[in-house]
Amino acid sequence: MKVLDYKKYAKFDYTSNECDNIFQLGEIVTLLDNVTKEPCTNDKGVIEIGVILQIHDENELRTDMFGNADVDNLRLSTLREITRNRVGLLLDVEKIIG
């Protein structure tokens, strides 16, 4: 899924690099554990979900909730994850992918 206006979630005016990153600006992603590749949770048990705000290069990007992240530790969030962990994003969804 992707939000209509990803800049709404940014605190700064980020500039992205032109590159072949597998993700796009505005996509909603889930942070995965380095080792287990299971969704990371915060201290309240909420799955870490972020909106992509900036693309640094093919391997790294920035989100609104957990800062810079390696693309190997991210995947597109499911509708179920968003509904359970960050439902407010659904108000701004542009399209459902897959």
Q: What is the pLDDT of residues 44-61, one digit of tens each?
A: 999 999 999 999 999 999
What average pLDDT does the chain have?
Answer: 92
Q: Give residue 43's pLDDT.
A: 92
The whole-number pLDDT of residue 96 equals 59
Domain span at 86:
2-95
Give how many domains the chain has, as a whole number.
1
Percent of the chain with pLDDT over 70: 96
Q: Can you read off the two tokens belonging to residue 49?
A: 């979900």
Predicted TM-score of the model (pTM): 0.91
The CA distance from 14 to 35, in Å, is 30
Measure the CA angle with vertex 67, ends 57 and 78; round to 5°: 90
Half-sphere exposure of 55 (CA within 13 A, CB side): 16
